[in-house]
Amino acid sequence: MRDYLKRLVTTGAAYQAADIAAKGIAVITLPLYTRHVGRGEYGAYTTLLTAVILASIFLRVGVGEAFVRFYYEDEDGHRRERIARTATATVAWTTTLAAVLAIVFAGPLSRLILGSSEPVLIECATVGLWAFTNLEMAYAQLRVDERTRAYMRASMSNVALTVTLTVALVVFAGRGAEGLLLGNFGASAIVVVGLWWTLRRRVSLRVRLGDLRAMLRFGLPTVPADASVYALQVADRFYVYRGYSHAAAGEYSIALQLATVVFVFVRGFQYAWPPLAYSIDSDARAARLYSLVTTYFVLATGVVVAAVALLGRWLVRLLAAPAYFGAHTALPWLALGWTLYGLYQVLIVITGRARVTQRNLPAALAGLAVNVVLLVVLVPGKGAGLGIAGAGIALCGAYVAMLAIMHLLTRGVFDVGFQWRRLAQLALILGGVAVSGELLLPTSGFLGLALRVLWLALIPALLLATRFFAPNERAQARAIAIDARRRIAAFRARHGEVEAYAEDPLRDI
């Protein structure tokens, strides 16, 4: 188990590092962008961004998911390359045709999505539709081989190009939402072309119908479910933008940006987890790993969510213009929502392993229905009047419903003995520290910040006091700590020898 966990952490950390750089720079540049883009424009940008990602799910037609699953069923290199070429070609054709249609109908699409005639924004988003979808397919080819260095180089290049183009277009050219869209997606298009050249043996425009039919049989049932899951994020942004307030949609978008402090963990897990989970031959060993990974995932992300809940006000003040301060009300709920989404990925892998992907749809549809109902009840003034905080709560409620239904649907096909006692223990400790700190501690000033940081120290203390960690886990942690100290000492010794030699170059004469 330790080797599997080490592999998950290693590959996940590589994907997280790239995502941390991307999201970190995006967060750091928020003060710059929010001073050049109005809340309404920013709301339009994020609405189109989510629309692009939702459309990309349909345009991949499930071949991306099928490619990852089929890749581990056959170790023949020629067969793997053939599957990769068919998957790449399929996505290239669907995205190109969709982009042409989107440009032709840009006017009606803008009125449908934004409620106003903004065809130029739709044309900018069309670049993203093509670039984002093909980039995801190219990244999938790097992930199946766990080519983490190549992935990081491509991601870092994307980050550098995105920042350069976006700053030029938004700050210096004053293009507002257009600049945000073109900066993000123009960079992705350049990286796609570069990756196609790097992976040229696996890239083609020829679709082999036999391979495509097999991938569609596996992947197509996942499309409605994946689209329904992502529609949760589209529904809340669309509802807040069109049915509540354009300005509130801008604040909600900032909260989503800042919640990426949790999302980077989830994204790394989402990329690293399926290749590892599908590569395990033994069902018994896989079930044990799934259970243990779930517990550790809740622990890692739950600590971050608790920190966001307690420190969110200061985070918004630091990284956004004053007009966006209201974003802090939704921030803790959106951070929690990302954790719940990560747990949903565990169950998605279970259905993929058991080849019952059609069971994803009922849970996804139920979650979407719960989300819509809660949005109408919680957000507007004629309802509970919670505003964007209500939208965040609605998202969490939807994910909880999905998790419950997915667990019921997957118990009979692949039984994972989840560690329910430890999961409940984590929920009580993490939730208790976050809620008590929010109710009892000051909400502004340096004193409030200091007290809340200290309050977070209750989490490890309570985990140790309630014996959350098993004896073997504590022993392994000590062994890892001792090994780390030895490596550091060895490095310092080598470094010291090099320095001594450099200071006395004549010592050997």
pLDDT tens digit sequence for 376-432: 999 988 878 898 999 999 999 999 999 999 888 888 777 788 899 999 999 999 999
pLDDT digits (tens, 9 = 90+) for 228-260: 777 777 788 788 877 788 788 888 888 888 887
Q: What is the mean pLDDT of residues 327-347?
A: 90
pLDDT at 472: 81
- Decide if 353 contacts 278 (C-beta within 8 A): yes
Q: Is 476 a domain residue? A: no
pLDDT digits (tens, 9 = 90+) for 343-358: 888 888 888 777 777 7
Q: Is 446 a domain residue? A: no
- Decide if 124 contacts 175 (C-beta within 8 A): no
Asked if pLDDT for residue 307 goes beyond 90, the answer is yes
Using DSSP, state whether 416 is helix, strand or coil.
coil
505 phi and psi angles, rounded to 5 deg: -65, -10
Asked if pLDDT for residue 126 goes beyond 70, the answer is yes
pTM passes above 0.85: no
Q: Is 452 a domain residue? A: no
pLDDT at 135: 92
Q: Is 113 a domain residue? A: yes
Confidence of residue 29 (pLDDT cuts 50, 70, 90): low
pLDDT at 507: 45
Domain that holds residue 172: 2-418
Residue partners of 126: CB distance under 8 A and separation at least 6: 99, 102, 103, 106
pLDDT at 505: 45
Strongest mean pLDDT among 68-77, 311-320, 491-500: 311-320
Domains identified in the chain, total number: 1
Choose among 271, 58, 234: nearest CA to 155: 271
Percent of the chain with pLDDT over 90: 29
Choose among 121, 120, 126, 131: nearest CA to 158: 131
Q: Is 351 a domain residue? A: yes
Q: Is 430 a domain residue? A: no
Structure tokens at 224: 């409605």
Q: Is 507 a domain residue? A: no
Amino acid at 236: D
pLDDT at 90: 93
pLDDT digits (tens, 9 = 90+) for 188-223: 999 999 999 998 888 888 888 888 888 888 788 778
More confident of the two residues 34 and 173? 173
Q: Is 502 a domain residue? A: no
pLDDT digits (tens, 9 = 90+) for 443-493: 989 999 999 999 999 999 999 999 998 888 778 777 767 776 777 777 667
